[in-house]
């Protein structure tokens, strides 16, 4: 006998079909009514709708084949992912509400305050990306992060490692990307952070495009980074071939970083284009970095090629470095091959300003060429000063310069004896 459907059954079936279509086409956006970063309980059926395979573990990561699946990482912030195909976000992008349009993309992982955590790290862990992402040698093209009023802007907005875990973002290639934000702006990540004997790494990322920040802390790869209480944060083997504009703490690789009873390092990274900031702490690799409370911060085997330009504390590698409270800050085996230009004081071929108080700062086996220029007089500053081929100026006797060389020209209009100094 032929079965006839009741009106109620027909409506129910229609709802199920629409729901399933929404899961497939819109990436489970219903899971968060604000279309924001939200970790959900993921069973096998949910995972099949969100991603292209895998089970989300480091050994069997969820697989990403298209822009929708890339966007859906925000629903598994503590999982592992692997990119399996090139993605062009101009062809299949999202706007800032998570709706498909024009290549815009909403950062994955965000910073939310949690007042119950320690005072210095009062962020909500569950809102941050704390998993792993392997770009697997594939390319993400035309990613546009057009968020001029926002903080924590990048492919990953805020990425952390806590509770003794090891997390990484690796093998990411971004082509023709743009990032525009208010604070903490980078191409790969706005901020990365580790604590409690955990490790957070950004490894082997290659980026071309443009990064702009209207306030503090922007870098070609990462906006800002930190490590505390036994954490270990590293940026290694990354290349940025785009251009940088910012205000304070602007660097070709990272805007600023610090270690507090922990370890933080930038290793074997290269920035090839100009870095420009309106104010202080501008560097070819890093705007400024510090170490405190037995921390260890370092920039090792890095190369900056483009011009570094700012107001003061401008350096070919770093705008400023600082070590306090039995800590060490180190720049080693680095080279700067572009001009360094400042409008005021503390302008150096390697670092603009070096400071040590109950700590040690060291510049070792570094090389600088090009011209180091203070434009102080032209800019109507009365006492520019602090201009040098390697270091602009420093404070405290625990500043060491070892086996380093400058071959170029220093121009300090406030002190004629430095004009055309070649070494």
In a domain, 2, yes or no: no
Q: Which two tokens stand for residue 419?
A: 């004009």
- Per-residue pLDDT of 63-113, as tens digits, reads 999 999 999 999 999 999 999 999 998 877 555 455 544 557 889 998 765
In a domain, 269, yes or no: yes
Q: Which two tokens stand for residue 168?
A: 């990484």
In 70-165, DSSP assigns E strands to 80-83, 87-88, 132-134, 139-141, 144-146, 151-153, 156-161
In a domain, 308, yes or no: yes
In a domain, 169, yes or no: yes
202 strand-pairing partners? 169, 235
- Per-residue pLDDT of 11-60, as tens digits, reads 344 433 333 444 433 333 334 434 455 555 677 788 888 999 999 999 99
pLDDT at 382: 37
Q: What is the total residue count of the chain?
A: 423
pLDDT category, 8, cuts 50, 70, 90? very low
Find out whether 157 and 108 touch, Cβ atoms under 8 Å: yes
Q: Indicate the range of 105-114, 233-242, 323-332 predicted with least confidence.
A: 105-114
pLDDT at 243: 87
Q: Which two tokens stand for residue 252?
A: 């070709």
243 strand-pairing partners? 210
Going 366 to 234 to 305 to 136, the CA torsion angle's sign is positive
Find out whether 67 and 42 touch, Cβ atoms under 8 Å: no
d(CA 182, CA 149): 5
In a domain, 190, yes or no: yes
- Per-residue pLDDT of 110-145, as tens digits, reads 876 555 544 455 567 788 999 999 999 999 999 999
Find out whether 324 and 332 touch, Cβ atoms under 8 Å: no
Using CA atoms, how far residue 351 sits from 13, 48, 179, 322, in Å, is 67, 51, 26, 11
- Per-residue pLDDT of 263-291, as tens digits, reads 999 999 999 988 888 888 999 999 999 99
Supply φ then ψ for residue 235, to 5 degrees.
-120, 120
In a domain, 11, yes or no: yes
DSSP string for 104-131: B-PPBS---B-TTS-GGG-B-GGGSB-S
Looking at the structure of the chain, the number of domains it has is: 1
Pairing, β 166-170 against β 199-203? parallel
**pTM for this entry:** 0.85
Q: Which two tokens stand for residue 145?
A: 């992060």
pLDDT at 12: 43
pLDDT at 70: 94
pLDDT category, 411, cuts 50, 70, 90? confident
In a domain, 384, yes or no: yes
First vs last C-alpha separation in the chain: 99
d(CA 213, CA 193): 20
In a domain, 221, yes or no: yes
| Residue carrying the six token digits 């949910």 | 46
pLDDT at 105: 85
The whole domain housing 384 covers 7-418
d(CA 327, CA 321): 12
């Amino acid at each position: 006998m032929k079965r006839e459907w009741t009106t109620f059954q027909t409506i129910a079936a229609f709802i199920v079909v629409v729901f399933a279509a929404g899961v497939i086409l819109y990436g489970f956006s219903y899971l968060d009514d604000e279309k924001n970063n939200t970790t959900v309980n993921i069973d096998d059926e949910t995972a099949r709708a969100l991603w292209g395979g895998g089970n989300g573990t480091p050994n069997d990561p969820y697989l990403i084949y298209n822009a929708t699946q890339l966007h859906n990482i925000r629903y598994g912030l503590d999982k592992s992912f692997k990119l399996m195909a090139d993605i062009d976000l101009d062809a299949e992008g999202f706007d800032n509400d998570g709706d498909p349009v024009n290549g815009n993309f909403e950062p994955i992982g965000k910073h939310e305050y949690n007042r119950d955590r320690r005072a210095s790290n009062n962020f909500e862990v569950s809102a941050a990306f704390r998993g792993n992402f392997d770009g697997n040698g594939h390319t993400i093209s035309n990613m546009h992060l057009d968020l001029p009023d926002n903080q924590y802007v990048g492919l990953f907005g805020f990425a952390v490692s806590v509770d003794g875990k090891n997390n990484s973002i690796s093998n990411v290639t971004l082509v023709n990307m743009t990032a525009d934000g208010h604070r903490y702006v980078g191409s790969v990540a706005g901020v990365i952070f580790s604590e409690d004997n955990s490790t957070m790494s950004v490894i082997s990322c290659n980026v071309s495009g443009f990064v702009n920040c209207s306030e503090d802390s922007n870098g070609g790869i990462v906006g800002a980074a930190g490590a505390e209480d036994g954490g270990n944060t590293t940026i290694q083997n990354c290349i940025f071939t785009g251009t940088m504009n910012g205000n304070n703490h602007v660097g070709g690789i990272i805007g600023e970083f610090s270690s507090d009873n922990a370890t933080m390092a930038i290793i074997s990274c290269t920035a090839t284009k100009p870095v420009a900031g309106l104010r202080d702490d501008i560097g070819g690799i890093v705007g400024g970095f510090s170490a405190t409370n037995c921390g260890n911060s370092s920039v090792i085997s890095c190369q900056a090629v483009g011009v570094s330009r700012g107001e003061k504390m401008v350096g070919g590698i770093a705008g400023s470095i600082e070590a306090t409270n039995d800590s060490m800050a180190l720049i080693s085996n680095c080279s700067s091959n572009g001009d360094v230009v400042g409008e005021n004081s503390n302008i150096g071929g390697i670092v603009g300003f070096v400071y040590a108080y109950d700590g040690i700062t060291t510049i070792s086996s570094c090389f600088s060429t090009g011209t180091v220029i203070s434009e102080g007089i032209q800019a109507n500053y009365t006492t520019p000063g602090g201009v040098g081929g390697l270091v602009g100026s420093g404070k405290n006797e625990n500043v060491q310069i070892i086996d380093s060389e400058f071959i170029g020209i220093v121009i300090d209009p406030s002190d004629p004896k430095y004009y055309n100094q070649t070494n």
